[in-house]
Amino acid sequence: MIRQSQKNNTLVCVGLDSDLNKLPSSFRSSRQPILEFNRAIVDATADLVCAFKPNSAFYEALGSEGIAQLKATCDFIHTNYPDVPVILDAKRGDIGSTSEAYARYTFDYLGADAVTLHPYLGHEALKPFLQRGEKGNIILCRTSNPGAGELQDLVVEGEPMYKRVARQVVTEWNSNGNCLLVVGATYPKELGAVRQIATDMVFLVPGVGTQGGKVEDIMPEGIRPDGRGMIINSSSGIIFASKGPDFAERAQEQTNILRISINNYRPN
């Protein structure tokens, strides 16, 4: 991701939350509508992003055909844009044997380069993912949804749980140097608090755009002095910027607008 970010001078990640019901009507008669839509979006934005992030839910909801289109999407990106990493947004996390199966599915079958994981079951449960030293493991820390604080703000040994999670990942779980943290753009102060703990770590930052997160709020809080350290995701605000025949062009336009906006706040 670092190499691609430098190559394209970007911190933007495009989320492929390709909801079948929101696709342009021109795809309704396609045999593999999500795959064809994704190909067009990827082709239009690949030189503007540091990663693509398909959300597994929209593919799993369609059963075996959806999974087939998810795999084909990952294959398409790896074949045509091999330097652009694929992040599977699946929020996995289970007991060891189940995590091992999830890891095989994520990394060996789909070929994803990174995956989102939740920390609730602890280090032992995530070992099958963490031991894959060449893969990225993106741990949920302070998420972007309105109800995030219900558990994440609970005080544990004198600090909010999200800070405890960040500290645990930094000090105990990142022995292979392949951990990242999810910190939502809708909570910029919390983002800054996590940056103070995880000074060098890369954050996946969802919530910019339709969820209400603002670039001008998150950049001072989360960016590292070297101008890196963040993967800023936008999904529906980019891929569904238009439902007309110009959907790919509009996605490209919105991606570049976000890229430029972010770069305006990066240290020179």
* Distance of alpha carbon 229 from alpha carbon 201, whole angstroms: 6
Looking at residue 27, the DSSP 8-state letter turns out to be: G
* pLDDT confidence of residue 151: 95
How big is the CA angle at 214 (ends 139 and 243), to the nearest 5 degrees? Answer: 90
For the four alpha carbons of 78, 81, 83 and 85, in that order, the dihedral sign comes to negative
Q: Return the active site residues.
A: 91
Q: Measured in whole angstroms, how far is the alpha carbon of residue 215 from the centre of its chain?
A: 16
Tokens of 178: 């392949």
The confidence band for 1, taking pLDDT boundaries of 50, 70 and 90, is low
Q: Which residue matches tokens 């240290």?
A: 267
* pLDDT confidence of residue 2: 64
Share of the chain above pLDDT 90, in %: 93
**Residue type, position 117, single letter:** L
Average confidence (pLDDT) over 53-62: 97
State the CATH architecture for 2-263: Alpha-Beta Barrel (3.20)
CB distance 117 to 91 below 8 Å: yes
Question: What is the per-residue pLDDT across 164-179, written as a single tens digit (0 to 9) for each?
Answer: 999 999 999 999 999 9
CB distance 233 to 206 below 8 Å: yes
* pLDDT confidence of residue 210: 79
Cα dihedral 266→184→179→172 (10° resolution): 120
For the four alpha carbons of 216, 85, 183 and 230, in that order, the dihedral sign comes to negative
* Distance of alpha carbon 65 from alpha carbon 75, whole angstroms: 15
Tokens of 257: 């607008």
Measure Cα distances from 9 to 1, 12, 80, 118, 256 in Å. Answer: 11, 9, 19, 30, 11
Domain boundaries in the chain?
2-263
* Distance of alpha carbon 112 from alpha carbon 89, whole angstroms: 10
pTM, two decimal places = 0.96
* pLDDT confidence of residue 268: 72
Question: What is the per-residue pLDDT across 193-237, written as a single tens digit (0 to 9) for each?
Answer: 999 999 999 999 999 987 889 999 999 999 999 999 999 999 999
